[in-house]
A and B are shown apart, each in its own frame.
Chain A
């Protein structure tokens, strides 16, 4: 027994980096599961059982967070004192204003029964998916930059990119929903 770190990176014994080797992470996850999982403490005393439960809950939450690049970045921002509420995603990034305006028109038309709007929605979907992919490439580069410099200013930039990504993701989801919903 003994205490365990509550910081996700520390729990895995990892440096606080944004680029992680996922295979290595999985290997560590399996090894730590074999060490802490409640199944291995069922017949032990109450205290040991509780310890196993608490440790594994953190392990699982940590693994779920660290293996996903976006959740990982948000987590690192949070432990570095950044406020990362959903707030940022509600403001339209200025460079997207025009596209969002067009999209809303097309959505209205399709809902109103105008099937010709389908094509412009599909175009919009492709455009936003492309935008999302471009953001992911940008993020990956910023992740490497942060790991090299550990500069707070890079985290600041990453926060901005994450907000933009969240907004674009919501757009993609909305268009997908409309397209598949209308097709059904």
Chain B
């Protein structure tokens, strides 16, 4: 921090991040108190959630990586969100449809092969987060280390934990995970100061959520949520790709489904066609591949036939959500659409029919989640007052009991934080350990639910069977993540619990990845140093600019002002050099010549504070 920047009571900025399946965005609360999306270096607000590892081993994210999807498909990955918090056995269906190259030896944690390196989904998501962090730092001219990150409302514990891990690996402290539809409601309601009951229908690239909220006097109370974490625009694209591949097979006599480059080119082509069909009654899918041409017309009518069952799959969760919210369709005042896939006319009319209301489309469905995340960041850092989000857990939490049956402890749609306490005992004389299997889901039997983790209560005092009493507290925090603590009810002593997550990374693995990412960062040490020096330079340049408005600046001698101008110009000259030491030297020089100015400003501030006047 430079002396000129001393600003009493200023809190570190918290940004809001929408880590999407297809695109990711970062937003902040501007000086006027409005949420605003931060553009990337290329001026684009949407950062495609695509990561590529170049031949030189450099990590590239966003639009540039999207180009590599076609040229270097073996080094590039997209839609990684689909694999967050999942095991290899879960994603077999996914692997048939998506060109994920799962590395050998992936068991409880999937590893993706990119060139000659392998990464877990949280590491790949961390690359995207790091890019967003850099974009925000370059734009705001200050370091950013805290964020609110959105997740699909229907994400389970493992998927949430994986997202939080990604933040840690990227060097971001994730202050809160916020559900995407809730974030959207926040952006929406803040703007309009609405009251009443609203439904948020969020169909994104890879996930579907429906949430029903009650808005009252700045409180956003989620009544119920439902969804499908594997349903979205990607599935629609796959339908179109499938028919095109079949056509090509019969026209060219060649199955190109195993040529990564061809499939990715085709993927681009069907996405373009899909988007055009939202406005035109018919369009063409066109592919040029190695001198060969493919073209077919697709009408909106045919398109709607192809995707009817996908749209239909969103309606079941909507009905369940209305029922769980304890409201009738008539009581829902408004429906808000979120996610790129809600631009499809068929989706809109399905929503309109079900909710018997014309859905709202006045907010950009691509940006509204990120804007809401920024609002929540404002709430957490105290810059947004009077607004409060009360969210729920999407899935019931239970433990395994006799005969493979689940006993529910916390019901779905409970407001979070939520907790439950259970007392456990031993079955055998002198037993030292008790194993608790925790699950998430709505089904009766263990095998039909999602295994979360096994908690091992260790070092129990040896006692006759049934005498030990261990009180275990299950607490779902405001992020929707489970925390377990235990204590011996007889002695009141804290009981040690060892956690074995069923999916995802252990704490040690995350720590290892954090240090590894630091090691890797040293490979392009200089580039980083230069970037950081420039951020620093931006900060002092902005601070000096601001200080020039201050009366204290006029109180300096001409000579002193001349020195400042000289140092300022010298810094501007070296700013674009690749020598971070030189930039730093000029920053120091500017700092030195503005020292007196800073002191004077501080004195003025203190004396006017003593006089009780406002500055």
Interfacial chain A residues near B418, Cβ < 8 Å:
57, 60-61, 64
With the chains together, A60 CA to B477 CA distance in Å?
Answer: 11
Tell me what chain A mostly uses at the interface: helix, strand, loop, or mixed: helix
* In the assembled complex, B475 has its CB within 8 A of some CB on chain A: yes
Q: Are B388 and A37 in contact (CB under 8 A)?
A: yes
Output the least CB separation between A51 and chain B (Å): 12
Contact partner of B388 (CB less than 8 A), chosen from A34, A57, A61, is A34
Q: Are A53 and B475 in contact (CB under 8 A)?
A: yes
User: How many chain A residues touch the partner (CB < 8 A)?
Assistant: 17
CB-CB under 8 A for A53 and B478, given A42-B175, A60-B418: yes
* In the assembled complex, A140 has its CB within 8 A of some CB on chain B: no
CB-CB under 8 A for A60 and B414, given A34-B388, A38-B478: yes
Q: Are A42 and B417 in contact (CB under 8 A)?
A: no
* In the assembled complex, A30 has its CB within 8 A of some CB on chain B: yes
Q: Tell me the chain A residues, 11-61 only, with Cβ under 8 Å from chain B.
A: 30, 33-34, 37-40, 42-43, 53, 56-58, 60-61
Q: Are A57 and B176 in contact (CB under 8 A)?
A: no
Output the least CB separation between A159 and chain B (Å): 22
29 chain-A/chain-B pairs, Cβ below 8 angstroms:
A30-B216, A33-B219, A33-B390, A37-B390, A37-B478, A38-B477, A39-B379, A39-B388, A42-B175, A42-B176, A42-B380, A43-B11, A43-B380, A53-B417, A53-B475, A53-B477, A53-B478, A56-B417, A57-B417, A57-B418, A57-B419, A58-B419, A60-B414, A60-B416, A60-B417, A61-B414, A61-B419, A63-B415, A64-B414
Q: Tell me the chain B residues, 500-558 only, with Cβ under 8 Å from chain A.
A: none
Interfacial chain B residues near A64, Cβ < 8 Å:
414-415, 418
Interfacial chain B residues near A40, Cβ < 8 Å:
388
Interfacial chain A residues near B219, Cβ < 8 Å:
30, 33-34
Q: Are A33 and B388 in contact (CB under 8 A)?
A: yes
Contact partner of B380 (CB less than 8 A), chosen from A30, A39, A61, is A39
Q: Tell me the chain A residues, 71-118 only, with Cβ under 8 Å from chain B.
A: none
Output the least CB separation between A2 and chain B (Å): 19
Look across to chain A and name the residue whose beta carbon is closest to the beta carbon of B380.
A42
Interfacial chain B residues near A30, Cβ < 8 Å:
216-217, 219, 221
With the chains together, A37 CA to B478 CA distance in Å?
Answer: 9
Interfacial chain B residues near A53, Cβ < 8 Å:
417, 475, 477-478
Closest 9 A/B residue pairs (Cβ): A57-B419, A57-B417, A60-B415, A42-B380, A38-B478, A56-B417, A42-B175, A30-B219, A60-B418
With the chains together, A53 CA to B478 CA distance in Å?
Answer: 8
Interfacial chain A residues near B379, Cβ < 8 Å:
39
With the chains together, A80 CA to B390 CA distance in Å?
Answer: 31
Interfacial chain A residues near B417, Cβ < 8 Å:
38, 53, 56-57, 60
Look across to chain B and name the residue whose beta carbon is closest to the beta carbon of A26.
B216
Known: A33-B219, A37-B478, A53-B417. 20 other contacts (CB 8 A): A30-B216, A37-B388, A37-B390, A39-B176, A42-B176, A42-B380, A43-B380, A43-B381, A43-B382, A56-B417, A57-B417, A57-B419, A57-B475, A60-B414, A60-B415, A60-B416, A61-B418, A61-B420, A64-B414, A64-B415
Interfacial chain A residues near B477, Cβ < 8 Å:
38, 53
Output the least CB separation between A135 and chain B (Å): 20
Look across to chain A and name the residue whose beta carbon is closest to the beta carbon of B219.
A30
* In the assembled complex, B564 has its CB within 8 A of some CB on chain A: no
Q: Tell me the chain B residues, 454-486 only, with Cβ under 8 Å from chain A.
A: 475, 477-478
With the chains together, A33 CA to B219 CA distance in Å?
Answer: 9
With the chains together, A64 CA to B11 CA distance in Å?
Answer: 35
Output the least CB separation between B235 and chain A (Å): 23
* In the assembled complex, B170 has its CB within 8 A of some CB on chain A: no
Output the least CB separation between B381 and chain A (Å): 6
Interface string of B377-396 (1 = CB under 8 A from A): 00111100000111000000
Look across to chain B and name the residue whose beta carbon is closest to the beta carbon of A56.
B417
Interface string of B218-253 (1 = CB under 8 A from A): 010100000000000000000000000000000000
Interface string of B109-137 (1 = CB under 8 A from A): 00000000000000000000000000000
Output the least CB separation between B324 and chain A (Å): 13
With the chains together, A34 CA to B221 CA distance in Å?
Answer: 12
Look across to chain B and name the residue whose beta carbon is closest to the beta carbon of A63.
B415
With the chains together, A64 CA to B217 CA distance in Å?
Answer: 21
With the chains together, A60 CA to B392 CA distance in Å?
Answer: 10
With the chains together, A30 CA to B420 CA distance in Å?
Answer: 22
With the chains together, A163 CA to B134 CA distance in Å?
Answer: 60
Look across to chain B and name the residue whose beta carbon is closest to the beta carbon of A31.
B219
With the chains together, A63 CA to B415 CA distance in Å?
Answer: 9
Output the least CB separation between A80 and chain B (Å): 19
With the chains together, A37 CA to B477 CA distance in Å?
Answer: 11
With the chains together, A57 CA to B11 CA distance in Å?
Answer: 28
With the chains together, A64 CA to B380 CA distance in Å?
Answer: 25
Output the least CB separation between B225 and chain A (Å): 15
Contact partner of A39 (CB less than 8 A), chosen from B221, B420, B478, is B478
With the chains together, A33 CA to B218 CA distance in Å?
Answer: 12
Q: Are A39 and B389 in contact (CB under 8 A)?
A: yes
With the chains together, A34 CA to B388 CA distance in Å?
Answer: 7
Look across to chain A and name the residue whose beta carbon is closest to the beta carbon of B382.
A43
Interfacial chain B residues near A33, Cβ < 8 Å:
219, 388, 390
Look across to chain A and name the residue whose beta carbon is closest to the beta carbon of B217.
A30
With the chains together, A96 CA to B489 CA distance in Å?
Answer: 42
Look across to chain A and name the residue whose beta carbon is closest to the beta carbon of B416.
A60
With the chains together, A110 CA to B175 CA distance in Å?
Answer: 54
**Residue picked from B176, B414, B418, most chain A C-beta under 10 Å:** B418
Interface string of B416-444 (1 = CB under 8 A from A): 11111000000000000000000000000
With the chains together, A40 CA to B417 CA distance in Å?
Answer: 13
With the chains together, A160 CA to B531 CA distance in Å?
Answer: 72
With the chains together, A39 CA to B218 CA distance in Å?
Answer: 14
Interfacial chain B residues near A38, Cβ < 8 Å:
417, 477-478
Look across to chain A and name the residue whose beta carbon is closest to the beta carbon of B415.
A60
Interfacial chain A residues near B419, Cβ < 8 Å:
57-58, 61
With the chains together, A39 CA to B182 CA distance in Å?
Answer: 14
Output the least CB separation between A83 and chain B (Å): 15
Output the least CB separation between A103 and chain B (Å): 21
Output the least CB separation between B119 and chain A (Å): 30
**Residue picked from B216, B221, B419, B477, most chain A C-beta under 10 Å:** B419
Output the least CB separation between B216 and chain A (Å): 7
Output the least CB separation between A18 and chain B (Å): 20
With the chains together, A30 CA to B217 CA distance in Å?
Answer: 10
Output the least CB separation between B416 and chain A (Å): 7
Output the least CB separation between A65 and chain B (Å): 10
